[in-house]
Chains A and B, each alone.
Chain A
């Protein structure tokens, strides 16, 4: 069974479109995250949710809106896609109870990533 699953794995879309990436974890974790990996392979946190509550929102354009219908799901919706949004987006979850001290004592489990290409 996949611990953290993201869909789709690949997404190619035109500028200006709206798209969503879904993430689900079956580990019973309280905290989920979205990370963006840029072309230089640098991972930057975008959002974290703890028990459906937004904890971290790191300087991300308003076009990006996370939604957590329950603590096992954290979806990422992107409006008006731009060329610069092209990247690999990783979802992760951890047992951390606060949604803040990421990986302070526990490891995080990552999804396989969604490669978004905006043309």
Chain B
């Protein structure tokens, strides 16, 4: 069965530093999604990537999907305390499939 592995599992950075979170799939992805979760809150949709080589940015967050569509990275530039939370990647393995899975999550802490 398809799995999504995220790395690192947790990350502590100083405010202003850049960071990258990776999400790797055991199979080709149909769609890759990044979410952010704050404690006690729901998941917040960040970005969706579908095409190999695709890259999207929103404010200081950039997400990329590799050409083979098996790995995605989320990069945060000049991190701020507001970036703290748990970042989750999610994916479906194909259209019409009932299978949708999430990665294991990366807990990010930003020190002021």
Binding site for B on A (CB under 8 A): 4, 9, 40-45, 48, 55-56, 90, 92, 98, 100-105, 107-113, 115
Contact = CB atoms under 8 A, between A and B. Distances in A.
Contact of A101 (B40, B86, B97): B97
Interface residues of B, number: 26
B98 A110 contact: no
A102 to B, nearest CB: 4
B60 to A, nearest CB: 20
B50 to A, nearest CB: 8
30 contacts: A9-B40, A40-B105, A41-B86, A41-B107, A42-B104, A42-B105, A43-B90, A43-B102, A44-B101, A45-B100, A55-B98, A90-B42, A90-B43, A92-B43, A98-B96, A100-B97, A101-B92, A101-B94, A101-B96, A101-B97, A102-B98, A103-B33, A103-B90, A104-B92, A107-B33, A107-B48, A110-B35, A113-B40, A113-B41, A115-B40
Of the candidates B88, B100, B102, the one having the most CB atoms from chain A within 10 angstroms of its own CB is B100
A4 B41 CA distance: 12
A104 B33 CA distance: 10
B96 A108 contact: no
A93 to B, nearest CB: 11
A103 B101 CA distance: 11
B100 A102 contact: yes
A107 to B, nearest CB: 4
Contacts of B105: 40-42
Contact of B104 (A40, A48, A105): A40
Contact of A110 (B31, B43, B92, B104): B43
A101 B95 contact: yes
Contacts of A90: 42-43
B42 A111 contact: yes
Nearest to A106: B48
